[in-house]
Structure 1
């Protein structure tokens, strides 16, 4: 599985390295407190926090926020609901792309992380030897580490993550049978072992981790934890995608989609997996089913349709799949659909406009193609869209003269390639 093949360094993997603690605390959403009778947080909070986590999987952010505010009212001095609010801001910020930039959400994320730290420290003053306070304090520090990552503050991100890891170790010292905690420890150890010595920004700190100790921790979490087995599957899917173990990734995502069949997030991950496998027809079929469900949800009269949030991304990949099948008219149809979506993140729109320009170049419609490339330059930078648009303005897009088979990959495979 995750440790079978050597991983290649990428910005996405360093992102996961710093975020391992943060991701763990969100995903172990049903964890109950540190003593024998109540492990993780009081039972009075479980209904709201579990409901909030499920709503996040379904991209129903407003509903999740209502549950969390209610939890804060129930127990204002407990750190759990504050940390979950930090998690909510993270998902609001990143559900569509790690390329998304929103100063308002960035500040909200930073505020919630700092608030969680304050509440967790106050909790620890009253409950000095309980794992709960250390659990959420470590999670909040992991969230701060992620915030540093998106700001490019690699060294500060590393030290926030390291502090969080130390707190995780302390949780295990207090309660070694809290097996859910081993997931975060194993993730951090693994990325410290594989990325610490390789990343230029951190090379001088002699960062080391123990890959085999990490594997043992992950196995404990996988086979003995009460609540994080499904969530570990999501992490393993991401690792499998990064490593190119796409059959494993597909198998894992099938488990997640079966567990959360109404989750737009996991439905999208299934489409992404098929695209990486170059299963173009299956990608389009799953994309069409996603689109149909989005339309059905819109017609149901619901004020919030979470499927629409990822439609631009789904349509873009359907267009790319159609292009790779040489069904160029169909590709134009899907790219046009991607452009029409009212997504908060405009990166998919920019990439779709770029592809429309390339298709127009292929048809010999140079003037219209240039108009599309110029539109890309008017939009915020996303992946390599602006660089390619400038190149296409100078020189028309052409089919490969050797085999006549140009190929469109996913922009997600380009995430922070400059860090490699």
Structure 2
């Protein structure tokens, strides 16, 4: 080979190596963005395996960018939220460490990098939520505080970074809901709650966010519903249902809200639609929640046979028996017992757990009632109290008054059952604007000397 040929070959090899180096150092950012959006859509269509693969591709395309591991970790967080599977929790923390390892050097290079602060603050925030859900409160506070402060900086440095408004708005709203007795802790930790400010930030993210638009809209809808702004909440949820018609979790949430709004037919239709859709899928999400919702609806309608059927299906499919609220177990047991299945009722009563924290009155009450019903079956008067309470929930005050009065008559000399009957009667009379009747019932309550239901006596 002559010198010229060798020189040309050397130049060619250099160009090939240089071009390869440029390609390795310069990801196709348009492709990275498109794949990230694709993965998010797959996640909310509940195509979880596909979303995992897509986010993995993002990580390979841009190994120095936090997007891939960030949304990969979020996928595991959502799965853990659904099934409380410890494997998903471990996977979440493993992926979140990758986000931290990528973001911290980026911030060392540029302390004003608001986008990196969004990813780092977001992942610390969700680590806080994950620690809280798994019972590690100190770790939850530590990581939650880091997340809050980073997101606060990101929004302050770049107010148009709308994705950062999602996490920041979430924190501001949740901090505003902390009981007044705990507010001083927020001040010490540097947190600042702002209910309306939080909702505003979430609204910004839901309308203008790039990657957090759907998540922000979901949180916003739930918070608005909790604040009694049902029309706005349903508008946002219906937008999500329209965009993701295959998402059974959105269907079940809609069913639960319709139940609370006393639109029972609409609630049952939505819950059954979620079950039917799941039956056509290989991997099912939210099925147990749909069964639980149907069981609760039928319980409210005093249809205890169907309430029993769907309660049993819920516990057949749920993976979270230890996380099931005491109220759910108690009501399922009562439904089974009234439907004639005392054996199943006992199983549900046994599943209640003694609360490990104070100031949880109704949780304690439901546990105590379950323990009482383990020792003896429901009396006729207690069955009438249950039915009366459900009639009151349906706003059938006249029928509720009749049943509460009948339950009081059949309570015999049992002052505890008498107290519960009169307590319900007074509520029904008050709701029906029968103030004279409510006052008379209240005076009647004062004559009782209950053993357990002393909380009813003023």
**Structure 1 equivalent of residue 319 of structure 2:** 344
> Quick check: 252-261 or 332-341, which moved more?
332-341
More helix by share: 2
Judging changes above 3 Å, is the alpha-carbon distance between structure 1 residues 269 and 216 closer, same or farther for their aligned structure 2 residues?
closer
Tell me the distance in 2 between the aligned counterparts of 1:332 and 1:240: 32
Among 34, 52, 55, the alignment partner of 1:65 is 52
Judging changes above 3 Å, is the alpha-carbon distance between structure 1 residues 201 and 317 closer, same or farther for their aligned structure 2 residues?
farther
Judging changes above 3 Å, is the alpha-carbon distance between structure 1 residues 179 and 123 closer, same or farther for their aligned structure 2 residues?
same
Judging changes above 3 Å, is the alpha-carbon distance between structure 1 residues 211 and 345 closer, same or farther for their aligned structure 2 residues?
closer
Tell me the distance in 2 between the aligned counterparts of 1:344 and 1:146: 20
Tell me the distance in 2 between the aligned counterparts of 1:294 and 1:222: 27
**Structure 1 equivalent of residue 37 of structure 2:** 50
Determine if contact 1:110/1:144 at 8 Å carries over to the other structure.
Answer: yes
Determine if contact 2:117/2:154 at 8 Å carries over to the other structure.
Answer: yes
Tell me the distance in 1 between the aligned counterparts of 2:147 and 2:66: 15
**Structure 2 equivalent of residue 146 of structure 1:** 129
Tell me the distance in 2 between the aligned counterparts of 1:356 and 1:140: 38
Among 86, 91, 94, the alignment partner of 1:103 is 86
**In the TM superposition, what are the counterparts of 1:80-159 in structure 2 within 5 Å?**
80-95=67-82, 100=84, 102-126=85-109, 129-159=112-142
Judging changes above 3 Å, is the alpha-carbon distance between structure 1 residues 358 and 158 closer, same or farther for their aligned structure 2 residues?
same
Deviations 1:72-131 (A, max 9, x none): 1111111111111221111010135xxx3x333332222222221111113334555433
Tell me the distance in 1 between the aligned counterparts of 2:346 and 2:197: 55
Among 246, 255, 268, the alignment partner of 1:271 is 255
Larger Rg: 2
Judging changes above 3 Å, is the alpha-carbon distance between structure 1 residues 242 and 335 closer, same or farther for their aligned structure 2 residues?
same
The number of residues matched between the two structures is 352
**Structure 2 equivalent of residue 246 of structure 1:** 230
Determine if contact 1:86/1:112 at 8 Å carries over to the other structure.
Answer: yes
Determine if contact 2:37/2:211 at 8 Å carries over to the other structure.
Answer: no
**In the TM superposition, what are the counterparts of 1:230-245 in structure 2 within 5 Å?**
230-245=214-229
> Quick check: 53-62 or 82-91, which moved more?
53-62
**Structure 2 equivalent of residue 15 of structure 1:** none
Judging changes above 3 Å, is the alpha-carbon distance between structure 1 residues 125 and 386 closer, same or farther for their aligned structure 2 residues?
same
Q: TM-score, normalised by structure 2?
A: 0.66
**Structure 1 equivalent of residue 375 of structure 2:** 394
Determine if contact 1:131/1:170 at 8 Å carries over to the other structure.
Answer: yes
SS in 2 for 1:396: coil
> Quick check: 346-355 or 277-286, which moved more?
346-355
Tell me the distance in 2 between the aligned counterparts of 1:264 and 1:167: 34
Judging changes above 3 Å, is the alpha-carbon distance between structure 1 residues 392 and 123 closer, same or farther for their aligned structure 2 residues?
same
Judging changes above 3 Å, is the alpha-carbon distance between structure 1 residues 360 and 200 closer, same or farther for their aligned structure 2 residues?
same
Judging changes above 3 Å, is the alpha-carbon distance between structure 1 residues 402 and 137 closer, same or farther for their aligned structure 2 residues?
closer
Among 188, 207, 211, the alignment partner of 2:171 is 188
Tell me the distance in 1 between the aligned counterparts of 2:341 and 2:174: 48
User: Over aligned residue pairs, what C-alpha RMSD do you find?
Assistant: 3.6
Tell me the distance in 1 between the aligned counterparts of 2:203 and 2:289: 34
Judging changes above 3 Å, is the alpha-carbon distance between structure 1 residues 145 and 273 closer, same or farther for their aligned structure 2 residues?
same
